[in-house]
Amino acid sequence: MNVESKDDRPVVYQSVTLKDVAPYQYLKVRLVLEDKSTKLSAVELKQFIITGLKSLHGDVGAALHFDVLKYDEQTLTAFLRVSKSGLVKLWSSLTLLGFYDKQTCAFRVLQVSPFLLSLTGNSRELDLDLDLDLDLD
């Protein structure tokens, strides 16, 4: 789109779109265990994920660098950070982990995003308080 400027030179507008600029992907995951009383520490969780990476992708998979940014032991929910190139390996290994300590388990990938801030809220879990007392007098 060209528009004439004050000094009669055309002004050119250009649309710029940045794709794949984020070096990391962030995952919000929850571990569902058969025995709900079983608790894992953050270290045990990370070791369990590394075991899954090694069983599916071998030693190369076990060497994949990922971080447990935050972990809630009560809900077994974690925020993971992995490089963009390692997302598929990590996600596939989480999907195929089926047993922990001789009991069935499953990882549920709740959210994935290149931006950590977007994982802090989920519109599906939003509870709106619609009890509004509007006094229009």
- DSSP-based three-state secondary structure for 95: helix
Looking at residue 5, what is its pLDDT? Answer: 55
Residue 89 structural domain? 30-115
Number of domains the chain is built from: 1
CATH number, domain with residue 37: 3.30.70.3250
Inter-residue contact 100 to 48 (CB < 8 Å): yes
Task: Give the whole-angstrom CA distance, residue 103 versus residue 97.
Answer: 11
Indicate the pTM of the whole model: 0.74
Q: Count of residues for the chain?
A: 137
Give the residue ranges of the chain where pLDDT is below 50: none
Does a structural domain hold residue 123?
no
> Which pLDDT score, from 0 to 100, does residue 96 have?
94
CA–CA distance, 109 with 116 (Å, rounded to integer): 15
The answer as to whether 66 is a domain residue is: yes
Does residue 88 belong to any structural domain of this protein? Answer: yes
One-letter amino acid of 129: D
With respect to residue 124, please indicate whether it lies within any of the assigned structural domains: no
